[in-house]
Structure 1
Amino acid sequence: MKVYNKLVRDRIPEIIKNSGSECECSVVTGAEKTEMLEKKLMEEVEEFLEAKNLEELADVMEVLFGLADVLGYSEEDLVKAREKKRDERGEFKEGIVLNKTF
């Protein structure tokens, strides 16, 4: 038996059972769900920094959508907020580093 005690994607229990294994799960809500999503975000960011691939980056985005949901926002709300900020302040494509202001 392996113990995880971590947040997983919604279909993971089904996938485990379909593979012929069993699992024990519980459901968290409220502050506990938010806390576990924040931990999951850190886990996924670390995995992305190690692998630097699109799949891990997509995992980070999925957790961000989960956090938006617990805060009462939709995926669309998050994308619109990103677009608004991008239009007002730009993106991170050019690699500009602010060294000093005078």
Structure 2
Amino acid sequence: MKKVIHKKLVRDKIPGIIRADNAEPVTRLLSEAEYRKSLLEKLVEEAIELRDSDADIDERADVAEVLRALDRAFDYSAEQVEQARRLKADRRGGFVDKVFLEEVIFENETPRD
């Protein structure tokens, strides 16, 4: 018998897929606080997979799925997220111009936090 430890949030149908492969998943349901934390960890996991795949569309879809779940878990509407995005873009810009910051040189000043 072989055991593989995962300790991570998985998509809803994964336990059934594992059973169909003649293996037995050991799962538990998360509390709301655990769920939110696990979603944030899953977002990092999926973002790394997206980066490492050179922006494969399936990996991008995984990131989108996690973001939707985060919106539900934190009770954010699509409109709220879009409004916050728009406000931040108005204040700080977007990523259209492809600006890559190499360094900042301060002369006789202390950088602000």
Q: TM-score by structure 1 length?
A: 0.76
More helix by share: 1
Aligned to 2:35: 33
User: Is 1:73 aligned to 2:76, yes or no?
Assistant: yes
Aligned to 1:2: 4
Q: CA RMSD in A?
A: 2.6
Question: Percent of counterpart pairs with the same letter?
Answer: 33
Structure with higher Rg: it is 2
Report the alpha carbon displacement of residue 15 of structure 1 after superposing the two structures with TM: 0.8
Per the alignment, in what secondary structure is the counterpart of residue 8 of structure 1? coil
Report the alpha carbon displacement of residue 96 of structure 1 after superposing the two structures with TM: 5.0
Report the alpha carbon displacement of residue 66 of structure 1 after superposing the two structures with TM: 0.8
Question: CA offsets, 1:39-83, max 9 Å, x none?
Answer: 111111111111121111111111111110111135x447x727x
CA distance in 2, matches of 1:2, 1:77: 41
Report the alpha carbon displacement of residue 10 of structure 1 after superposing the two structures with TM: 0.6
Q: Any unmatched runs of 5+ in structure 1?
A: none
Q: Any unmatched runs of 5+ in structure 2?
A: 102-113
Q: TM-score by structure 2 length?
A: 0.69
CA distance in 1, matches of 2:79, 2:4: 38
User: Is 1:54 aligned to 2:65, yes or no?
Assistant: no
What is the number of residues matched between the two proteins?
Answer: 97
